[in-house]
Structure 1
Amino acid sequence: MTDDLLARHKAVLPDWMPIYYGDDAIEIVAGSGRRVVGSDGRTYLDFFGGVLTNMIGYDVAEINEAVQRQLATGVVHTSTLYLIRQQVELAEKIARLSGIPDARVFLTNSGTEANETALLMATNARRSNQILAIKNSYHGRTFATMAITGHRSWSSSSLSPLSVSWLASADRLRGRMVGLSDGDLAEAAVDDLREVLATVTAGDVAALIAEPIQGVGGFVAAPDGVLGAYQKVLNESGILLIADEVQTGWGRTGSHFWGYQAHGVTPDLVTFAKGIGNGFALGGVVGRASVMNAVPAISFSTFGGNPLSAAAGNAVLDYVLSHDLQANAAEVGTIVLDGLRALDVPIVGEVRGRGLMIGIEFVRPGTSEPDPAATVRVFDECRAGGLLVGKGGLYGNVIRIGPALTLTADEAREGLAILVDAISRVDADSPASLRYAGDRPFGG
């Protein structure tokens, strides 16, 4: 740090706001492409992208120019009481890409607000405050979204405007689904849903909300088709399905444009945010008109879909499509995934993910017991090697990788080499690894 910015941060901001690297925190002062520069003068390859938000990277000419054109008009804000051309154009594109017939779009400032809005619509459409959510999930930090977040570290109150019933997560290292094959897990998930509906709900559930891949939860994903199997059960009672695509949307998974498309399902509502703004505050909901129009009173978002953010969103989405970043995510993501899966070290319990959404879970050798201490050491070693990554997971033992979708193959290999070196160093220094001799049942 070049001054006492960290001390100033601690003096005026709440102590429950996490900051990476503790007393050696980084201030990012410049960025270009997939690289950022810290106030320490070091350049880092960024494999976390502002928590999967800087989806196109830094200092992108097409986005800068779109924002500058809007700024040049002198109109940054009008409110939605007036027509906003950029908002309408962006909504048209999202509705077309959503896969939802007769779709409507409501733009917000964030993923949290998007999920709040989806809950408002679903509970009004169904005249019920009962929601199904999935353990290990994360949907936001506000009052209602916190209630549907199945992740203890992020649940700061037991109070809730909703009645929430919980389904098992797809974690196969521990819990109800441990060790199950894809088919057996899908069957167990449906049985779990039917049991929850029959035992702990009042029968008029509004919706199930699910992340196709759990983000904060450590990039845990159910096998393809599980959401489709869920929906068949939900349809028996008219229960809605909300896909939280805040982290999985816009082609990040490589195999599909939306995460839900891997499951042979069309949700009633889809929420989105993060990457669509590439750093500008932008999120929203797209869904069936009958559900979107179910709000019985006036409602709008003062800043959601404002001319500046919507201009950025249009430029981002145009860039994603014209450069086929979904295909790039699949290609370069395979480089990273294959390289990590080739590692044979006992501290790695599982490498999982799809496209450029990759998690590495660390365990105590020979067990499935989480090892958050090893995770922190790998995290720090990555920074020392010039690579920024994220952390997550229910137990804080998952390294999260979510680079810009513009990542090149050379950059993928560069980041992979730093990751492999960091993991190997920590594994070699682990007393448990030195003692462990066995078949490595949880390796790579």
Structure 2
Amino acid sequence: MVKIRKQNISPSLFTFYKKPLLLHQGHMQWLFDFEGRRYLDLFAGIATVGVGHCHPKVTAAARKQLGRLWHTSNIYLHPPIHEYAEKLASLLPEPLKVVYLTNSGSEANDLAMLMARVFTRNFDIISLRGCYHGGSLYTMGPTAIGHYKQAAGSSFGCQTTMSPDVFRGPWGGSHCRDSPVQTIRKCTCSPDSCHAKNQYVEQLKDTFRTCVPKAIAGFIAEPIQGVVGAVQYPKGFLKEAYQLVRERGGVCIADEVQTGFGRTGSHFWGFQGHGVVPDIVTMAKSIGNGFPMAAVVTRAEIASALAQNLHFNTYGGNPLACTVGSAVLDAIEEDGLQKNCKEVGTYMLLEFAKLRDQFEIVGDVRGKGLLIGIEMVTDKETREPLPHEEVAEIMEDCKDMGVIVGRGGLFFQTFRVKPPMCITKEDVDFAVAVFRAAFTRHMERRAAAN
């Protein structure tokens, strides 16, 4: 397989670990390699396997539909697309009721930007630095992580503003974010005003004054930034940002690819935790539990603007995808997974926070529900990132002890913890014990090197 990968698979697709992990089977929160070793999956196929690997209900629904009708284009009527669109729309607030089904998050964000530009008849899109919105030529524009950008002229019409990161950014403190765990930085906020939020809003205003025309097409943001490691904004930032964007004629796009479908615990959608209603919502990943599907949901007048000309998707909303998506929504509700995200996620955050207090190399623990970041540093005072080679060693140790975790951040310094939403507190205890052992080994290696 390694030989075939070198010869026949694009070299842009990298693998984790010194010895690549060869996986054979999955069941709920567990993965098994070809030799039968079991791993607790804390990355869920990059925050994608929401209800669990090979969830029985989803598997049964897919198997049944496979025997009935795999595909017919959406130019024909078939029950699954209509049943699913109605079910999905019922989970979103008014006026977000018109659904357009696609195949990936990049495609969904690509379409959302197109909708924004066609509807407003403006061009410029603003995003936050540190965001990831896709790897297509169009979505590479708002994506603002350097190693995901190609030298292909993709940023035309896209401007970024400072990420309101209360740990690594210039402003932030111990009361800023909507999380059970706050940063250890001191807070300069008064009881009725968030200094960090105000400063980051001023940066956005400066972007408006200097980088874009008076009228813009839109603003796209994740409710919690995923690829850089669960970066959260100061409370109130997104609400004020939405107001400023709308004052300039733009629409607000919520990228729920990683935050949606109950993962944050407190709400079904991440934007609800900010007290806002976007104009367009994009979603993917957990929507199909690993099946390639995605969606854009918007209000009727924005959807109608796109109908001026033909816009078509061959596979979006095919019977199999919609059947899988519908079964996923049923499983989230029947298994109580949003509640589990809140309860188990809060427990996990608090347990990881104990590791932050124990180890100098753990600079920050943050997140909400089962969307968690553990940022590694050389020391807490300077917040200098731990070298990515050392983070990779810790990650390798975790894998060898039976835990799979992701990595992210501008310096590859942050562990991304986004497990299937069915994990238990017992799983958390195991994961925390593994991380503690891996951190201890790293400190021993560091002491031996010195």
- Contact 2:280–2:298 (CA<8 Å) still a contact in 1? yes
Instruction: Look up the match of 1:35.
Output: 30
> Would you say 1:92 and 2:90 are equivalent positions?
no
CA contact (8 A) 2:351 2:432 kept: yes
Aligned pairs for 1:64-83 (under 5 A) are: 64-73=59-68, 75-83=69-77
Counterpart residue number, 1:375: 391
Amino acid at match of 1:146: M
| Residue correspondence of structure 1 range 289-308 to structure 2 within 5 A | 289-295=300-306, 296-308=308-320
The letter for the 1-side match of 2:71 is H
Residue 181 of structure 1: CA displacement?
A: 5.6
Equivalent residue letter for 2:311: S
Change (3 A) 1:405 1:102: closer
Q: Determine the C-alpha separation between the residues in 2 that align with 1:350 and 1:238.
A: 37
3-state SS of 1:219 partner: coil
Amino acid at match of 2:290: G
Q: Within the alignment, does 1:329 sit opposite 2:341 as a pair?
A: yes
Aligned letter for 1:370? P
State the AA in 2 paired with 1:364: T
Partner of 2:127: 133
- The equivalent of 2:411 in structure 1 is 395
Deviation at 1:367, TM superposition (A): 2.4
Q: After the TM superposition, which of the residue ranges 242-251 and 330-339 deviates more from structure 2?
A: 330-339
Closer, same or farther: CA 161–127 of 1 in aligned 2, 3 Å: farther
SS of equivalent to 1:138: coil
Cα displacement string for residues 390-427 of structure 1 (whole angstroms, at most 9, x for unaligned residues):
01111100111111111122112222221222122213
Cα distance in 1 for residues equivalent to 2:79 and 2:66: 14
Match of 1:223 in 2: 234
Q: Give secondary structure in 2 for the equivalent of 1:144.
A: coil
Secondary structure at the counterpart of residue 62 of structure 1:
helix
Q: SS where residue 340 of structure 2 aligns?
A: helix
- Structure 1 position 256 matched with structure 2 position 256: no
Q: What's the offset of the Cα at 1:292? A: 1.9
The CA RMSD measured in Å over matched residues stands at 1.7
Residue of structure 2 in register with 1:285 after alignment: 296
**What pairs with 1:18-417 in structure 2 (closer than 5 Å)?**
18-22=14-18, 24-73=19-68, 75-101=69-95, 103-160=97-154, 162-177=156-171, 182=176, 183-295=194-306, 296-343=308-355, 344-365=358-379, 366-371=381-386, 372-417=388-433
Q: Which one-letter code corresponds to 1:10 in the other structure?
A: K
Distance 2:304 2:444 in 1: 58
| Contact preservation (8 Å) 1:359, 1:401 | yes
Residues 34, 66 of structure 1: alpha-carbon distance in 2 compared, 3 angstrom cutoff = same
Task: Please give the alpha-carbon distance, in whole angstroms, between the structure 1 residues aligned to 2:389 and 2:34.
Answer: 27
Q: Give, in whole Å, the separation in 1 of the partners of 2:424 and 2:245.
A: 41
**Is 1:7 matched with 2:21?**
no
Q: How many residues align?
A: 428
Distance 1:45 1:25 in 2: 17
1:229 to partner: Cα distance:
1.1
Amino acid paired to 2:370: L
Contact residue 144 and residue 162 of structure 1 kept, 8 A: no
How far did 1:205 drift? 0.6
Q: Tell me the alpha carbon deviations over residues 366-401 of structure 1, each in whole angstroms, 9 at most, x when there is no partner.
A: 421111222112111110110100011111001111
Q: SS at 1:221's partner residue?
A: coil
Matches of 1:6 and 1:412, distance apart in 2: 33
C-alpha separation in 1, matches of 2:293 and 2:141: 23
Closer, same or farther: CA 87–162 of 1 in aligned 2, 3 Å: farther
Q: Provide Cα deviations, 1:325-367, integer angstroms capped at 9, x if missing partner.
A: 1110011112211111012211111111111011111111242
Q: Verify the 8 A CA contact 1:389 1:400 in the aligned structure 2.
A: yes
Q: Which runs of 5+ in 1 are unaligned?
A: 436-444
> How big is each residue's C-alpha offset from its partner over 1:204-260, in whole Å with a ceiling of 9 and x where there is no partner?
210000001111111111023221111121222221100000000001011111111
- TM-score of the pair, normalised by structure 2: 0.92
Structure 2 unaligned segments of length 5 or more: list them. 177-193
**8 Å CA contact retained: 1:87, 1:310:** yes
Three-state SS of the structure 2 residue aligned to 1:275 is helix
State percent identity of aligned pairs.
38
